[in-house]
Amino acid sequence: MRGLVFLGDKKAEVRDFPKPEPGPGEVVVEMKAAGLCGSDLNYYRQTSAERAGVVIIAGHEPSGVVDSVGHGVNTVHVGDRVSVYHYRGCGHCKHCLAGNIMWCPEARGYGGPIHGSAADFILTDARNCLPLPDELTFAHGALIACAAGTAFSALRKLQVSGNDTVVIFGQGPVGMNCLIMARGMGGRVIAVEPIAQRRALARKLGADEIIDPNSSDVRSAVRSLTKGEGADVALDCSGSDAARDGAITCLRLGGKAAFVGLGSRPAGEPSPINALHLIGSQITVMGSFVMPISNYWDLADFIVQRRLPMLEMITHRFSIEEAPEAVALFDGGRTGKVIIEWP
């Protein structure tokens, strides 16, 4: 089978790999759609020295059709249409049993330590196969696997409703999902984005207001749009220091913020926080990391019932042979969602 690998120094190529075989409790899924995520770029941008000896198929947003099942699998069947949850865990620890597979001590993320979704087939656990409703496409499934799930989980923690003005910093794939879903929950959405192409896409996706942080003071602009009070809710989907600070300082008294974007800050290096504003305004700040697998059913129902225009964020579609070109384009930061598709 074909699979995309990152070589370092922003180089990638498609190589041949053996097709995986399912063991007990495992499933092989034939890929139909795989999204590119901003966290993929962290590996893509590593140096050739950092990637030396690493031959791992990239990607962690899989969706497709069950191709084969291993011994003991009776809840998933050949031919099922599925989205694949993007962390594998032990299945027995307290975190796995609570649906927080990403916290499992044995957690393995696709495209990191194990082969990922930018390939003709992917090996997974039967419990990671999430059935796609008839109303949803494989592209929906790829979005759900990571970006849409991450957005949904954060918005749920923030308890967004029709009473809220929501400021979203960054209109990459997660930010676009947050925009669409916050609108679906009834919120008024202000999108903050420095790149013109993504501001235009945010407008198309339904943002009520858009701020260019390169030409406007975000805090002042938000307060102008909220009668001087500030927003009720803010999300940082970029991971930048300026956005995290903005997410706190643009809020009203007692507002809530979630930090979602990891950014490219070295591990362990602290990110500055406006503690004075945080304390004086009694702001609630939380982190939000991917989605518990148990949220899947509610997320799928939410997309279907609210008829969310998820697919409108997809601006480019590529074949697996074109995957290196897809990653290079996505790395430029001027696209919407980029996905790889199979016939």
Non-local CB neighbours of 73 within 8 Å, separated by 6+ positions: 22, 25, 26, 27, 126
CATH number at residue 203: 3.40.50.720
Mean pLDDT of 316-320: 98
Mean pLDDT of 226-235: 97
Q: Which of 217-221, 238-242, 245-249 bottoms out in mean pLDDT, i.e. has the lowest?
A: 238-242
Residue pLDDT, tens place only, 47-61: 999 999 999 999 999
Do residue 156 and residue 283 come from a single domain? yes
Do residue 94 and residue 69 come from a single domain? yes
Do residue 237 and residue 168 come from a single domain? yes
Count of domains observed in the chain: 2
Do residue 322 and residue 195 come from a single domain? no
**Residue 110 host element (H or E):** none
Non-local CB neighbours of 290 within 8 Å, separated by 6+ positions: 86, 87, 102, 146, 149, 150, 153
Q: What is the dihedral of CA 271, 277, 280, 283, to 10 degrees?
A: -70
Do residue 321 and residue 201 come from a single domain? no
Q: Is the pLDDT of residue 122 over 70?
A: yes
Query: Among residues of the chain, what percentage have pLDDT more than 90?
Result: 92
The pLDDT assigned to 279 comes to 84
Do residue 274 and residue 160 come from a single domain? yes
Q: Is the pLDDT of residue 202 over 90?
A: yes
Angle at 74 between CA 73 and CA 75, to 5 degrees: 105
Do residue 8 and residue 142 come from a single domain? yes
Check if the beta carbon of residue 3 is closer than 8 Å to that of residue 121. no
Q: Is the pLDDT of residue 264 over 80?
A: no
User: Which domain covers residue 254, as residue numbers?
Assistant: 150-287
Residue pLDDT, tens place only, 15-48: 999 999 999 999 999 999 999 999 999 999 999 9
The pLDDT assigned to 271 comes to 67
Q: Is the pLDDT of residue 265 over 60?
A: no
* CA-closest candidate to residue 327, choices 36, 34, 58: 36
Angle at 32 between CA 89 and CA 178, to 5 degrees: 65
Instruction: Report the C-alpha gap between 185 and 183 in whole angstroms.
Output: 5
User: What's the mean per-residue pLDDT of the chain?
Assistant: 95
* CA-closest candidate to residue 222, choices 250, 193, 254: 250
Check if the beta carbon of residue 97 is closer than 8 Å to that of residue 34. no
Check if the beta carbon of residue 157 is closer than 8 Å to that of residue 88. no
The pLDDT assigned to 268 comes to 59
CATH number at residue 323: 3.90.180.10
The pLDDT assigned to 115 comes to 98
Q: Is the pLDDT of residue 266 over 60?
A: no
At which of 260, 287, 314 does a domain end?
287
Mean pLDDT of 190-205: 97
DSSP string, 249-318: HTEEEEEEEEE---TTPPTT------HHHHHHTT-EEEE--S--GGGHHHHHHHHHHTT--GGGGEEEEE
* CA-closest candidate to residue 230, choices 158, 165, 163, 162: 165
Do residue 116 and residue 238 come from a single domain? no
Residue pLDDT, tens place only, 149-165: 999 999 999 999 999 99
Check if the beta carbon of residue 156 is closer than 8 Å to that of residue 295. yes
Check if the beta carbon of residue 281 is closer than 8 Å to that of residue 257. no
DSSP string, 162-229: TT-EEEEE--SHHHHHHHHHHHHTT-EEEEE-S-HHHHHHHHHTT-SEEE-TTTS-HHHHHHHHTTTS
Phi, psi angle pair for 145, to nearest 5°: -55, -30
Residue pLDDT, tens place only, 86-113: 999 999 999 999 999 999 999 999 999 9
Instruction: Report the C-alpha gap between 162 and 186 in whole angstroms.
Output: 4
Looking only at the bridges linking them, the beta strands covering 62-69 and 81-84 are antiparallel
Do residue 296 and residue 270 come from a single domain? no
Considering the entire predicted model, what is its pTM?
Answer: 0.94
Do residue 226 and residue 314 come from a single domain? no
Do residue 192 and residue 255 come from a single domain? yes
Local confidence band at 274 (pLDDT 50, 70, 90 cut-offs): confident
The pLDDT assigned to 267 comes to 58
Query: Among residues of the chain, what percentage have pLDDT more than 70?
Result: 97
